[in-house]
Amino acid sequence: MKRKRYIFFDIDGTLITGGYDKSCVPASARLAIEKLKEAGHFLAIATGRGQIMAVDLMRDLGFHNMVSDGGYGITIDDQLLGITPLPKDKMVALVRECEEKGFPWGLQVDNSDTRLVPDSRFDRWTHDFYLKNRIVPGLDPEDYDTLYKLYIACPYPEEFTLTALKELPWCRYHPEYFFVEPTDKAFGIRKIMDHFHARYEDGIVFGDALNDLSMFTDDGWMRVAMGNAADEVKKKADYITTSVDCDGIWNACVALGLFDEKLTP
């Protein structure tokens, strides 16, 4: 058997094309996944999405393992082993500052598609459809043991006025609000590889976006950038393949000798 590799794939812009709701998986990527499994490699998704929001896609793609929640969620053999919460004291401090400054906010306290909000202001401000909103009058983060994500509604660049935000990871995908969530995919990759007592140099990661820099680290695994990747990601890559919609996954797997297939998909 060929050397067993532990291969982690980002989803959006790496395995699939298009936006979050309108996307497709190239046939060549699906074929490459099957060939990789036949060759005996370990395959996993590595996504910023919450586990519950990505598990159906994970299974549709033929995977059984996943790093989710920006690196803090671990799924092995279709079983969620756990999600590491963000530090409660820092999250509470940030909520208190949002309340003082009048920024609408919402919390994610479990692995679900529902965000808790104290009132309707967050929904009115954002009209967001990524998660469902459930109003909890008097919502207080102190009442929950696990705080996974915090969503704060404010226009750019007002987030930089939040002093407590400096103590937490965050990113902005929408003009109406931003996410306070983990951004360390390498954290989850290490946990999975340690679980199997695998050598980091046997790892390979595929990515394209700036949040994938969190797994384009110096841990020893190979870093593959898609042809459509951000320039910053390409600069950190050990190998650059073609774009996702030009058979990028397939071409990289063939070039790296991950399975015995020389024909075009």
Full domain range(s) for residue 25: 6-84+184-255
Residues 162 and 195 occupy one common structural domain: no
In a domain, residue 236? The reply is yes
Q: Average the pLDDT over 132-136 and give the result.
A: 97
Residues 72 and 112 occupy one common structural domain: no
| pLDDT reading at 92 higher than 50 | yes
Q: Look at residue 19 and tell me whether its pLDDT is greater than 80.
A: no
d(C-alpha 1, C-alpha 78), whole Å: 25
Structure tokens at 177: 């609000």
The CATH number of residue 243's host domain is 3.40.50.1000
User: What CATH number should be reported for the domain holding residue 157?
Assistant: 3.30.1240.10
Say which range, 14-18, 124-128, 164-168, has the weakest mean pLDDT: 14-18
Q: What angle do CA 139, 143, 145 make, to 5 degrees?
A: 130
- The angle that helices 248-255 and 27-38 make with each other, rounded to 10 degrees, is 30
**At 20, is the pLDDT very low, low, confident or very high (cuts 50, 70, 90)?**
low
- Whether the pLDDT of residue 21 is over 60: the answer is no
- Same structural domain for residues 205 and 231? yes
Share of residues in the chain with pLDDT > 90 (%):
93
Res. 97 pLDDT band, cuts 50 70 90: very high
The tens digit of pLDDT for each residue in 137-175 reads 999 999 999 999 999 999 999 999 999 999 999 999 899
Mean pLDDT of 171-189: 96
> What b/e readout covers 127-144, taking b as 16+ CB neighbours within 10 angstroms?
ebebbebeeeeebebeeb
From 146, 180, 214, the end of a domain falls on 180
Structure confidence at residue 264 (pLDDT): 53
> Looking at the 3D structure of the chain, how many domains does it have?
2
Name which of 42, 16, 34 is nearest 197 in CA terms.
42
Which residue bears the tokens 């679900």? 112
Same domain, 92 and 175: yes
Mean pLDDT of the 30-38 span = 96
Q: Is residue 263 included in any domain, yes or no? A: no
Residue 6 has pLDDT above 80, yes or no: yes
At 22, the pLDDT band (50, 70, 90 cuts) reads: very low
Q: Are strands 149-153 and 105-108 parallel, antiparallel or unpaired?
A: antiparallel
Q: Mean of the pLDDT values across residues 102-124?
A: 97
Write out pLDDT tens, residues 211-242. Answer: 999 999 999 999 999 999 999 999 999 999 99
> Burial letters for 30-41: b for 16+ Cβ neighbours within 10 Å, e otherwise?
bbbbebbeebeb
Q: Would you state the pLDDT for residue 260? A: 80
Residues 166 and 148 in one domain: yes
Coil, helix or strand for 21?
coil
What share of the chain has pLDDT > 70, as a percent?
Answer: 96
Note whether 143 and 199 are same-domain residues: no
Residue 72 lies inside a defined structural domain of this protein: yes
What mean pLDDT is reported for the chain?
95
What confidence score (pLDDT) does residue 265 get?
54
